[in-house]
Amino acid sequence: MDLVTTVADRAARRLVRWEQQTPDALPPGPLAPPKAQMFSFLLTPGPFLRACRERFGKVVTIRIPGIPPIVQFSEPDAVREVFAASDETVHAGEANAVLEPFLGSYSVLILDGPRHRSQRRLLLPPFRGDRMRAYGEAMRDITEAAVAKWPRAPGGGERFVLQRETQAITLDVILRTVFGMEDGADQDRMRALLVRGLRILDNPVFLVRTFQKDLGPLSPWGRFLRLREAGFREMDALVARRRREGFGDDILSMLLQATHEDGTPMSDAEIHDELLTLLVAGHETTATGLTWALHDLSTHPQVLRRVQEELDARLGGGPIDPDKVRELPYLDAVCKETLRIHPVIPGIGRVLQKPTRIGGIDLPAGVAVGCSIYLVHSDPDTWPDPERYDPTRFLDKKPSPYTYFPFGGGMRRCIGEAFALYEMRIVLATILQKLEPVAAVKHVREQRRNITLTPAGGLPIRMQPR
């Protein structure tokens, strides 16, 4: 454990040292002021969550200014109860309200009830299995083009920031498969706008409404809003061109042809918000998972050897066949074990709409309930020796959806789960067929970038030819 992580752990333990039994009879939680809890959860989420578990066990009340108290569970039975609750009892969109300024009010992540079900129905068809092959070919081709430019040398070439490279790959995948954009000036302009806007949002403080202030075009939030509007103009031009020139097999084309139950098409505002949602949810998260996976392989040579043996045996030395990546059970297990040890999102939340009993605790309406992916995935009661990296945990075994849920669960389970895992397998297979990752730093700590937990510093790494 490096010095920064050790200091953060000690600070978090001091923060949660004293127990708070509150007048509203919620479970105990840290006595620290809500603002202190907020910044600890935003800036050092791992140490804060670990300290809460050490002090309070598997249920704790966290208080953050401006939102309801969060009763956070890391007990699988309680997670099951949260996931099984109806949308009349719990609202996930309300719990995700902090994302509305980024994604828009029509985002499937923000909506609840019938509006959510209607929007989700329109988004599901592009992610069904029969659509995946076309996406897979784009994922492979984009990765091959990117990897060809990476430095490499026997023993490890020049080191580079891996997260920056995986983000470039996953962003181009989104532009190709979701937006239907090919190489050219339009794609370059859209990419530049999106990268500039998303990098502003990397700062987790912008999850807090207080910091979402437009103080002019030079202020961070002001720059983001203007970049977002410029992005919307590019989307409008893209939509007009698609309607004029004909539809393709990209996700935007499918959304433009989709209709609500009453036969009306999606509005331009709905299209904007869902494109942004697919971009944000499918770009940064998958890039982070890929970065962690390559880091884990660089530090576990026996796992890397087994992945390479599987690739050689099932794919040979030719181009990656997207159909055959489904026949790589060990690589699939590597992806899943990576997402267990390094969950990209620390947890999910719901807001209670009426009094509800969860985990044996009676909770009032208006309280938020959280399910901690971070803590459940590292619980020794479920995962023996949880810090050990062992992909065989997922071979010929299907974990409970209440002990392993990197993509959430219940009726709000991420619709892009299959897409993300498919992309991870194709990108990793394409890289590892020719290159081996070589660790360039001794310790890697996690840091929050907006809603995701990423390697600090973007993870410097080296590559060598196989």
Question: What type of residue sits at position 179?
Answer: F
Residue 336 within a domain: yes
pLDDT tens digits for range 397-443: 899 999 999 999 999 999 999 999 999 999 999 999 999 999 998 88
- pLDDT at site 8: 61
Q: DSSP secondary structure string, 189-239? A: HHHHHHHHHHHHHTSGGGGSGGG-----TTSHHHHHHHHHHHHHHHHHHHH
**Residue with the larger pLDDT of the pair 330 and 323:** 330
Residue 356 within a domain: yes
- pLDDT at site 98: 87
Residue 395 within a domain: yes
Residue 291: pLDDT over 90: yes
CATH for 364:
1.10.630.10
Count CA atoms within 13 Å of residue 257 on its CB side.
Answer: 12
Residue 91 within a domain: yes
Residue 215: pLDDT over 60: yes
Domain hosting residue 310, numbered range = 66-465
The SS3 of residue 276 is helix
Structural tokens at position 88: 């009349």
pLDDT tens digits for range 84-141: 999 999 999 999 998 898 888 999 999 999 999 999 999 988 887 777 878 999 999 9
Cβ-proximal residues to 118 (8 Å cutoff; 6+ apart), any chain: 260, 261
Residue 50 within a domain: no
pTM: 0.93
Residues 126 and 124: their CA atoms lie apart, in Å, by 6
- pLDDT at site 13: 64
Q: DSSP secondary structure string, 103-160? A: H-TT-TTT--HHHHHHHHHHHSGGGSGGGHHHHHHHHHHHHHHHHTTS---TT--S-E
Residue 43 within a domain: no
- pLDDT at site 3: 47
- pLDDT at site 205: 86
Residues 187 and 400: their CA atoms lie apart, in Å, by 41
Structural tokens at position 265: 């098409």
pLDDT tens digits for range 170-186: 999 999 999 998 878 88
Structural tokens at position 300: 């576990």
pLDDT tens digits for range 347-389: 999 999 999 999 999 999 999 999 999 999 999 999 999 999 9
Residue 15 within a domain: no
CB atoms within 10 A of CB 214: 13
Structural tokens at position 172: 């181009």
CB atoms within 10 A of CB 355: 12
Structural tokens at position 466: 């196989």
Residue 280 within a domain: yes
- Tally of domains in the chain: 1
